[in-house]
Each structure stands twice: as structure tokens, then as C-alpha cells.
Amino acid sequence: MPNWKKVIVSGSSAELTTLNLSSVSNAGTDTDKFLVLDAAGNVDYRTGTQVLSDIGGLSSGGEIVASVQTYVDFKSQTQGGLPWGGSTDLMPIDRWMGVWIAPSSGYIEKIYVSPENANSPTGTFSIQMYNNASTQGTAVANSMGSPGTNVQFNFGSPTYAFSAGDRIYLDLDKSTNSCDFYAVQVVFRLDN
């Protein structure tokens, strides 16, 4: 039962300056305790884990989000390897030069691709992930759209997972799209 120390009443509102809760039980393994005000004006009990989830936070030892932003010029090719840094020409499919070495275990969460010059027809675009030179899976978008349109390719765990030190290669296939220059952002979830 709460032990009210001091309440200030002003007009039609009351302000609680001190509240002592003497009978709150231990929250098991999560001993952090928080009181939060919900949308209905009620005071609710939340554990530390619940508060982290409420605000979209990560606990220590959890995952971190990292991304790589690059640009790809296909030139006369329709398919090839993603260059992981800078503005670089697409690598031919038979040359394993475009690799990213994973700093820790994790997975590719999603990839954004945007055509950056005229694009017609707006056809299929696919991204295939290779892990240590073995095919791991493919994500496809049925329409790339006009210049400046961000298209999201959904990946995720466990299908697109990797371990620390793995060599990740992404093969891009623009199919019938006429655009040659694309902005690409790869979003990772990495173990902390």
C-alpha cells in the first residue's frame, strides 16, 4: 500500500511530490522498476526490459544497427557485385572483389535501393546474398520505380545471418531497368 508523504492541491489538479511504495515485489531477474504514466493517466509498473522495449532501446550485449551507404554504376552490365564503399563501377559477376568482412555475427535486415537517373521500364530488380562464396538467398522487388524512389528489400534472420569473419558478397541484377546508377544502403543487425 502506498505511503503518501506530501500532496499539493492547486485549483482542480493535484501534484504528488513524494511517493513511497513499501510493498513492491522483486521483478525476478529484472530488478529495475519503473513507474510510467499511460495514455489513460494511470501509473503503471514496468520492468527495465519492458521500458527498453517501449522506447525501442537495446540492452547491453544486444544488437546494434549498422549500415553501409554506397552508389553503383552498372555501365553496360545488368548484373554484378556490389561495391561496398564509395562510388564505384559494378564488379563483373565472376570476380569476387566486392566483399564485406563481417566484424561480428549478425544478419542483413534490409536493403534500400534507389534509381538515380531515368528508369524505364520499371522492372524487376533482385539482390542475391553470398556468404563465403555460397548462395544464401535472394530478395526481389517487382518494380524499381522512377528516380529518387526508395525500394526496400526485406532480408532478416536467420536466412541472411552470418558469423564474425564471414565474407559477404551481394550480387545485384537490374534486369530490364534502364537506370544505370543506383544509391544502395545495406542495413545490418550486428551482435554487440
| Residue 163 main-chain phi, psi, to 5 deg | -110, 165
Q: Are 40 and 51 in contact (CB under 8 A)?
A: no
Mean pLDDT confidence for 156-181? 93
Considering the domain architecture, whether residues 41 and 67 belong to the same structural domain is answered as: no
Considering the domain architecture, whether residues 105 and 182 belong to the same structural domain is answered as: yes
The domain in which residue 14 lies consists of 2-55
Question: Which contiguous run of DSSP H or E holds residue 172?
Answer: strand 167-173
Considering the domain architecture, whether residues 125 and 182 belong to the same structural domain is answered as: yes
Considering the domain architecture, whether residues 14 and 35 belong to the same structural domain is answered as: yes
Considering the domain architecture, whether residues 49 and 77 belong to the same structural domain is answered as: no
In the prediction, which pLDDT does 107 show? 93
CATH number, domain at 115?
Answer: 2.60.120
- Kindly tell me if the per-residue pLDDT of 28 is higher than 90: no
Among 55, 72, 93, residue at a domain's last position: 55
Q: Where does the pLDDT of residue 151 fall: very low under 50, low under 70, confident under 90, or very high at 90 and above? A: very high
Among 13, 37, 55, residue at a domain's last position: 55
What confidence tens digit (pLDDT) does each residue in 55-114 have? 755 555 567 888 999 999 998 889 888 888 765 677 665 555 678 999 999 999 999 999
What's the domain count of the chain? Answer: 2
- Whole-angstrom CA distances from 83 to 74, 178, 182 are 11, 20, 12
Joined grid coordinates for residue 81:
557485385
Residue 17, classified by CB atoms within 10 Å of its CB into exposed (0-12), middle (13-18) or buried (19+), is: exposed
Considering the domain architecture, whether residues 174 and 156 belong to the same structural domain is answered as: yes
